[in-house]
A and B are shown apart, each in its own frame.
Chain A
């Protein structure tokens, strides 16, 4: 097992390096940081000094190497727009995005899996048909439209839930959480549903398809032939066998939930990293954009690793194949 984790980590390094290269290239080719930082009036000497202090006079590879070393330590320099350390900005915004993403993912799993199991088991019930129709909506409506519709109904017409912001937050050290106050939860509901809906319907359809597939297998027939109760055939034998693909997709989806949070955060003015990224794009704030890209890539890599470890836990055949025993 440790060897397998190690090999996964080694595989992740080239991925992160490529993303680092892209981020780094933004510095070199998008905008001119020196011009941005100097403003209108400057002497050539001042410009030279700044170029030297930023290390921009050094060869490409030296600069890239420094960038990678700094990035590995969470150092991305100062935001052009806000003149504050990028790491600090990200740390301020990350809790909002991560809480939103995890709640959205939890909704998607906790609702999507049971719906998928139900529609797989009772293919022809009217409730299954309703779920499937509903899931088509989730898949086909764009996220921003769902968000706007939810705001229209629950904030504007009914006035039940806030339409923007995070509500009341509590500081736990550097982490600001909205999960400890009723107000924070009220603010979280609509964005989390908006963000999780696509994943919810995706997981539901996936679980349904897998259930239908698994229910046809010989080992399920044999489980029935042994007289096991439906409960253990359906929720034990069948569901467990659908888990491997579901874990993969759900894990990959968590990554894309974090990435797609940009749209939801914009619609709900949710003060997370996605909103920060959009604001940075508007003012060509390269250090923030680079940090965001790197962080997102890192999250993807970590999630992939977790997915692999879960596989390993769920499926004994992989345990044999990978780790030996």
Chain B
């Protein structure tokens, strides 16, 4: 029930100029380039963008679980002002689960089918907290109750296959939060779920993280969820942050043409979306990112400079946007997009 600490404090998580590369036989792929953002304690940062934009990759880099041969080639990641991107394996392991929790997309595959949910909770708790097995079990039951599993004390010895998809995602949330991390990376936590239970899971996540003062990096395709849940939102495109700012501004008055395209495609709030935006064209593959602004082949406001120079995040008033339209040095093409 802690109130959100004063905004003046150093951010809980800071990602600076992050670049993730995949060396392949046919050259090095740059999956993330110059990604920077921060999350304050207790804050919810929404992350949106088309499939393949690099949202999951960003989450994996933060929890130190990039899949080899993927590696951080440049930049740094700081937790409480301390670098965590270059920690020894064992030190980083202790941060995972304890400081930074993770929620994955598909609850049907996230839980080990051969262990009871109680055992999975208990081992997580015992890994991070100084407790006896009996205390850990009591805490596991408590967390199952917290995430709304009816009859938690009986259900604790059930196997994952004995739960429905929605219930399993509740268990996953309990697993992510049971050691009370300060940040949780939730990568599309409802995408794999039945539409009818998506809202419940988001409401649960929102309530628990607010009650425990947990910051959230919430990756989702659902702009409605972002609008309701996030404090700030980052829009990603082709491995970069296209725009970042307070959720109201990015949703209502986006400053990047790509964000504008995304927002224009949001259906009315009473309907859910399966897929984002019908912006013409497709996001480029990593092997074929165009010169200049990666969005230029699809952008309705494209002008000469966009095809030559790559824009960094620029101050766009209410938000920061990686778009030359907001560079005072650019020839003014449009006052807003």
Contact = CB atoms under 8 A, between A and B. Distances in A.
Asked if chains A and B come from one complex, the reply is yes
Interface in A224-240: 224-230, 232, 237, 240
Interface string A212-230: 0000011101111111111
Contact of B104 (A222, A240, A320): A222
B125 to A, nearest CB: 10
A277 B71 CA distance: 61
Interface stretch (A9-17, A256-264, A309-317): A309-317
Contacts of A320: 159, 161-162
Contact of A226 (B109, B127, B159, B161): B127
A241 interface: yes
Given A225-B102, A227-B124, A317-B159, A218 B95 contact: no
A219 B102 CA distance: 12
B96 interface: yes
Contacts of B93: 224, 227, 229-230
Contact of A219 (B109, B128, B161, B176): B109
B111 A228 contact: no
A315 B127 contact: no
Contact of A225 (B65, B94, B113, B115): B65
Contacts of B106: 218
Contacts of A221: 65, 104
Contacts of B282: none
A227 B109 contact: no
Interface residues of B, number: 31
B127 A228 contact: yes
A241 B112 contact: yes
A228 B106 CA distance: 20
Interface in A299-325: 314-317, 320
Interface in B78-128: 93-98, 101-102, 104, 106, 109-116, 123-124, 127-128
A237 B127 CA distance: 15
Contacts of A227: 93-98, 124, 127-128, 179
Contact of B127 (A217, A218, A229): A229
A226 to B, nearest CB: 4
Contact of A232 (B123, B162, B175): B123
B87 to A, nearest CB: 13
A228 B123 contact: yes
Given A232-B123, A317-B159, A320-B161, A223 B98 contact: no
A22 B194 CA distance: 56
> Which of A232, A240, A316 is the most central at the interface, judged by chain B CB atoms within 10 Å of its CB?
A316
> Which of A225, A317, A320 is the most central at the interface, judged by chain B CB atoms within 10 Å of its CB?
A225
A226 B124 contact: yes
A226 B112 CA distance: 12
Nearest to A221: B65
Contacts of A229: 93, 127
A217 B209 CA distance: 27
A314 B96 contact: no
B124 A228 contact: yes
Given A218-B110, A317-B113, A320-B162, A225 B104 contact: yes
B115 A226 contact: no
A317 B104 CA distance: 22
Given A217-B109, A218-B104, A227-B124, A316 B96 contact: no
Nearest to B102: A225
B172 interface: yes
B63 interface: yes
A1 B50 CA distance: 49
Contacts of B63: 225
A223 B102 CA distance: 10
A139 to B, nearest CB: 29
Interface in B178-194: 179
B115 A222 contact: no
B94 A219 contact: no
Contacts of A314: 114
B129 to A, nearest CB: 11
Contact of B114 (A218, A228, A232, A240): A240
A219 B127 contact: no
B191 to A, nearest CB: 13
Contacts of B101: 225-226
Contacts of A228: 97, 123-124, 127
A319 to B, nearest CB: 9
A222 B111 contact: yes
B71 to A, nearest CB: 16
B102 A222 contact: yes
B114 to A, nearest CB: 5
A226 B113 contact: no
Contact of B161 (A223, A232, A240, A316): A316
Interface string A237-271: 10011000000000000000000000000000000
Contacts of A224: 65, 93, 96
A233 B111 CA distance: 13
Interface string A123-154: 00000000000000000000000000000000
> Which of A222, A224, A240, A241 is the most central at the interface, judged by chain B CB atoms within 10 Å of its CB?
A222
A224 B89 CA distance: 11
Interface of B: 63, 65, 93-98, 101-102, 104, 106, 109-116, 123-124, 127-128, 159, 161-162, 172, 175-176, 179
6 contacts: A222-B172, A224-B93, A225-B63, A225-B104, A226-B176, A232-B123
**Which 5 A-B pairs give the minimum distances between C-beta atoms?**
A227-B97, A227-B96, A225-B102, A218-B109, A316-B159
Given A224-B93, A315-B114, 7 more contacts: A218-B104, A219-B113, A225-B101, A227-B127, A230-B93, A241-B114, A316-B159
